[in-house]
Amino acid sequence: MADRMLPLFADLRLDSSSPRRNYSPVSKERLPTNTTTYRHPVHRWFNFIAGFSPEFMQICLDQLDGKLPRVLLDPFAGCATALVSACQYGLEAVGCEPHPILTKIGRAKLPGPDTAKRLWQIEVAIAAGLDRPQSLELLSKSPQKFLSSLFSRPILESLLGARESLRQRDLFDNDLAFLVLSKVVDKSSHSQTDGIYKAPASRKVAIDPLKALRQIVTAIREDLDEVRGIPFDKLARIIEKSSERIPEVADGSVGIVVTSPPYLNNFDFAEMTRMFLYFWGIANSWGEITDKVRAKLVVNTTTALKGHKEKQDQYRIEIPSRVQEHLSDLVSQLAVQRRIRAGKKEYDFLVYPYFAQITAVLRECYRCMANGAAFHMMVADAALYGIHISAPQFIRDILEEIGFRNVTCSLVRTRGYRWILEKRDGSKQGLGEYHIAAIK
Ligand SMILES: C[S@@+](CC[C@H](N)C(=O)[O-])C[C@H]1O[C@@H](n2cnc3c(N)ncnc32)[C@H](O)[C@@H]1O
């Protein structure tokens, strides 16, 4: 295990007055994961299964050259891990995130001077609402059916009471209130609700909502005390839109990019938040989830193909020609598999939109970065019907075509058994997560 430790961490000895944290050593395998989040203030407010670790951020931020703009960009901000870390380093930060749930959670993790007072109001409002259950009739048909499979009826009625209480006290649109009640919802479900959507089949212990509320509020209060003096709300902002085009960020204004895009054929970020989308009334059916959420995100799963299958040629020519050639061969192989496999999965339609959208985001990063600025990305490869798609290598090639220099791509960890698709799809290739680094 010792040789897997990054020496960087073991050697870190930071001045105690620094806003940076003296993190404990962590194994390399955990860098791309959310498994250390629980031990970091603010980060732990929402443990996002697709998030990377604050320790990965630390490695990247320690390399920031003092001569560059002190601004970080994360074009795939998720739950704002990169932004929170940047603020703790005293940097400014900007992130893009078109997913309405993740944007609100990310913004809630950028507290300001009034946050402690607001937290108290939120706690009072939610506690009062939990005591005033509301009818399930508040929910439309699909949400009612789905949420009833995740909670006992009395619990769901209490949670709706809390939601309505926030509405009555003008806290319904408050990002921190959204985060706190979403966490209560999550903890009081008897189903596993994160990640590749296992609910309602996979069970877990449900925590009483009032107890969950106290736990969450206590943790946030402790952390606000610990990070007092860091003006997260002044330093960082999240733009709620796709990062394929971000004129809001000026040319050459960014000193460092740290990011992790949706992985090909991995999480459907709309599906994985179905419980929250339904609970908050943001979407009320599968169709609305597609139109209001999936349609805004990078196309990375076959569930997201609506409106994209027809535009394959357009997407293909948006990809640098060197990569296009390799991809067209893979697309042909996938089309053959679609015809002969029972599942008829349309993986062949995923490849061009995915790499075209990633190309657009990388071009925007390049434009926003100052000369000499560093780029870091954590990304995985995929096997579709057993055909290996080396996304990290294609992204490396795309970066070079755009003009980045010193582009490297190193394996950080191999992913667990469930990602090794030999049994399921005939692939001999184990899948991994890779750190791509480059300089503008
Ligand atoms: C791997 S996650 C990033 C997680 C993040 N590093 C964290 O620690 O929370 C990828 C994120 O990209 C977002 N995303 C998808 N399409 C996007 C787009 N076109 N523009 C910006 N973000 C997008 C997804 O909603 C998801 O939150």
Q: Taking the chain (440 residues) in consecutive chunks of 10 residues, what is each chunk's mean pLDDT?
A: 32 36 78 92 93 94 88 98 96 98 98 97 98 97 93 97 98 98 95 64 88 98 96 98 98 98 93 94 96 97 94 97 95 95 93 98 98 97 91 98 97 69 55 95
Quote the tokens at residue 420. 């090794």
End residue of a domain, out of 205, 226, 247:
226
Please tell me whether residues 79 and 193 are part of one structural domain.
Answer: no
User: Does residue 107 sit within a domain?
Assistant: no
End residue of a domain, out of 226, 254, 276:
226
User: Does residue 163 sit within a domain?
Assistant: yes
Which residue has a Cα nearest atom 15 of ligand 1?
A: 297
Please tell me whether residues 192 and 142 are part of one structural domain.
Answer: yes
Here the CATH number for the domain that contains residue 368 is: 3.40.50.150
Specify the pTM: 0.93
The count of domains in the chain is 2
Please tell me whether residues 356 and 245 are part of one structural domain.
Answer: yes
Please tell me the predicted confidence (pLDDT) of residue 43.
97
- Percentages helix, strand, coil for the chain (3-state, rounded to 5) are 50, 15, 40
Please tell me whether residues 213 and 245 are part of one structural domain.
Answer: no
Rounded CA-CA distance 379/434 in Å is 5
Please tell me whether residues 251 and 305 are part of one structural domain.
Answer: yes
The ligand 1 atom at the shortest distance from the C-alpha of residue 261 is: 10
User: Does residue 197 sit within a domain?
Assistant: yes
User: Does residue 41 sit within a domain?
Assistant: yes
Which residue has a Cα nearest atom 16 of ligand 1?
A: 297
Q: How many angstroms separate the alpha carbon of residue 207 from the centre of ligand 1?
A: 29
Please tell me the predicted confidence (pLDDT) of residue 203.
81
Quote the tokens at residue 26. 């962590």
Please tell me the predicted confidence (pLDDT) of residue 10.
30
Report how far apart, in Å, the C-alpha atoms of 221 and of each of 74, 193, 218 are: 27, 25, 5
Whether residue 198 contacts residue 207, with contact meaning beta carbons closer than 8 Å, is answered with no
The ligand 1 atom at the shortest distance from the C-alpha of residue 243 is: 20
Instruction: Reduce the DSSP state of residue 171 to 3 states and report it.
Output: coil
Which residue has a Cα nearest atom 7 of ligand 1?
A: 51
Q: How many angstroms separate the alpha carbon of residue 50 from the centre of ligand 1?
A: 8
Please tell me whether residues 66 and 214 are part of one structural domain.
Answer: no
Please tell me whether residues 57 and 171 are part of one structural domain.
Answer: no
Pocket lined around ligand 1, Cβ cut-off 6 Å: 48, 50-52, 75-76, 78-79, 81, 96-99, 102, 242-244, 260-262, 269, 297-298
User: Does residue 278 sit within a domain?
Assistant: no
The ligand 1 atom at the shortest distance from the C-alpha of residue 106 is: 9
Please tell me whether residues 433 and 328 are part of one structural domain.
Answer: yes
Whether residue 106 contacts residue 79, with contact meaning beta carbons closer than 8 Å, is answered with yes
Please tell me whether residues 173 and 35 are part of one structural domain.
Answer: no
Question: CB within 8 A of 326, min separation 6: which ones?
Answer: 394
Please tell me the predicted confidence (pLDDT) of residue 200.
66
End residue of a domain, out of 226, 257, 283:
226
Q: Which residue intervals of 137-208 are DSSP H helices?
A: 141-148, 153-168, 175-187
Q: Which domain holds residue 193?
A: 115-226
Please tell me whether residues 308 and 411 are part of one structural domain.
Answer: yes
Q: How many angstroms separate the alpha carbon of residue 76 from the centre of ligand 1?
A: 4
Please tell me the predicted confidence (pLDDT) of residue 425.
55
Please tell me whether residues 238 and 361 are part of one structural domain.
Answer: yes
Please tell me the predicted confidence (pLDDT) of residue 310.
96
Give the residue, out of 38, 97, 282, with the most ligand 1 atoms within 8 A of its beta carbon, to mutate for a pocket test.
Answer: 97
Give the residue, out of 36, 96, 298, 361, with the most ligand 1 atoms within 8 A of its beta carbon, to mutate for a pocket test.
Answer: 298
Please tell me the predicted confidence (pLDDT) of residue 343.
86
User: Does residue 410 sit within a domain?
Assistant: yes
User: Does residue 63 sit within a domain?
Assistant: yes
The ligand 1 atom at the shortest distance from the C-alpha of residue 242 is: 20
Please tell me whether residues 191 and 258 are part of one structural domain.
Answer: no
User: Does residue 245 sit within a domain?
Assistant: yes
Which residue has a Cα nearest atom 8 of ligand 1?
A: 51
Q: How many angstroms separate the alpha carbon of residue 79 from the centre of ligand 1?
A: 8
Q: How many angstroms separate the alpha carbon of residue 168 from the centre of ligand 1?
A: 32
